[in-house]
Amino acid sequence: MAVGRIIKALSGFYYVQSKEGIYACKGRGVFRNKKITPLVGDFVEFDIRNEDEGYIMKVKERSNELVRPPIANIDQVCIVNAAVSPDFSPLLLDRFLVLVESKHIQPLIFITKMDLVPSQEVDRLKEYQAIYKNLGYEVKLLSSKEPEWITEIMPYFKDKVSVFAGQSGVGKSSLLNLLDPDLYLETAEISKSLGRGKHTTRHVELLAIGEGLVADTPGFSVLEFSDLEAEDLGVCFPEIRTQMQDCKFRGCLHDKEPKCAVKEAVANGSIAAFRYNHYLRFLEEIKSRKPRY
């Protein structure tokens, strides 16, 4: 039995990379009965049938997984935001951060298209960069006119499986093309009428970049907290996580309760008001979610 990692799933085949090469594999019929769906990133045991084909016999236990995009065993998520076109959105960034934190995956923040930002807006973006850095996040401001940043961020990918995530049109594929010009990933212009990018990436695939593996994933714009409970939301905000132990009541949701350490921290400025407002917005969203039966 051979062992490998699924690096691409396409048209019913799972492409498994092992020491011997890449094999186009089918899943066992029993997987469907057991509701097992192999994912890109999975470590699997497979039976080689001929020189480049095989059957996946077992999917090994995952350290984590994402549903959209469907991928497993991720070390870090590179959240790509555009500075302009589409405009930088702290709300959207925080939505991505909460989803990544809830899966216990390390986030890395890239803000692209800095060369297109009017000079008066640069300072505002640097203020956001400082706020997120103080929370323990790596934040890189990237400009296609200053390619030296490529060598600066390459070490982040070494020996890691990274996922690039972000709404369509923020430049994920363009960024990957800059990191490895041999990829020539299909890119598309922003649709001016919609203010969104076209979905140019149609499947999930792990690509070898910078001594690691990077997944280029379909752009997506609907990010729901379907698996997150209200009492777990605060843990996904590092600044709330550190304060919540000082709240008077156990199970404090930091919105209406008295003697809440988090609300005090917002009042004295040690928690950014915009982050707390996003927390309240997400909390309301989770509370108003329809129950699933």
Question: What kind and span of H or E run contains 282?
Answer: helix 273-287
- pLDDT at res. 200: 45
- pLDDT at res. 218: 60
Handedness of CA 178, 121, 169, 131 (dihedral sign): positive
- pLDDT at res. 217: 61
Is the bond into 69 cis (omega within 30 degrees of 0)? yes
Domain 2-60 has CATH 2.40.50.140: yes
Report the DSSP pairing between strands 196-197 and 205-209.
unpaired
Q: Determine contact, residues 247/260, Cβ cutoff 8 Å.
A: yes
Give the tokens for residue 36.
Answer: 């097992």
- pLDDT at res. 197: 41
The closest alpha carbon to 118, from 147, 83, 79, belongs to: 83
Q: What is the pLDDT along the chain (293 residues), one digit of tens a residue?
A: 899 999 999 888 999 999 989 999 999 878 888 888 999 999 999 999 988 899 999 999 999 988 777 889 999 999 999 999 889 999 999 999 999 999 899 999 999 999 999 988 999 999 999 999 999 999 999 987 777 778 888 899 999 999 888 877 777 777 777 777 777 555 444 434 434 444 444 678 898 888 899 986 665 545 788 889 999 999 999 999 999 999 999 899 999 999 999 999 999 999 999 999 999 999 999 999 877 65
Residues comprising the chain, all counted: 293
Say what the pTM is: 0.85
- pLDDT at res. 93: 96
Contacts of 187 (CB under 8 A, 6+ apart): 173, 174, 177, 200
Q: How many CB atoms lie within 10 A of CB 256?
A: 8
Which residue's structure tokens are 């080689």? 48
- pLDDT at res. 169: 74
Domain boundaries, the chain: 2-60, 66-216, 230-287
**Helix, strand or coil for residue 24?**
strand
Domain 230-287: top CATH class: mainly alpha
- pLDDT at res. 293: 56
Report the DSSP pairing between strands 161-165 and 212-216.
parallel
- pLDDT at res. 12: 87
Report the DSSP pairing between strands 71-72 and 2-10.
unpaired
Report the alpha-carbon distance of residue 18 to residue 47 in Å, rounded. 12
Report the alpha-carbon distance of residue 288 to residue 135 in Å, rounded. 28
H-type alpha helices, 85-221: 90-102, 119-134, 149-153, 172-179
CATH architecture of 66-216: 3-Layer(aba) Sandwich (3.40)
Give the tokens for residue 16.
Answer: 């498994």
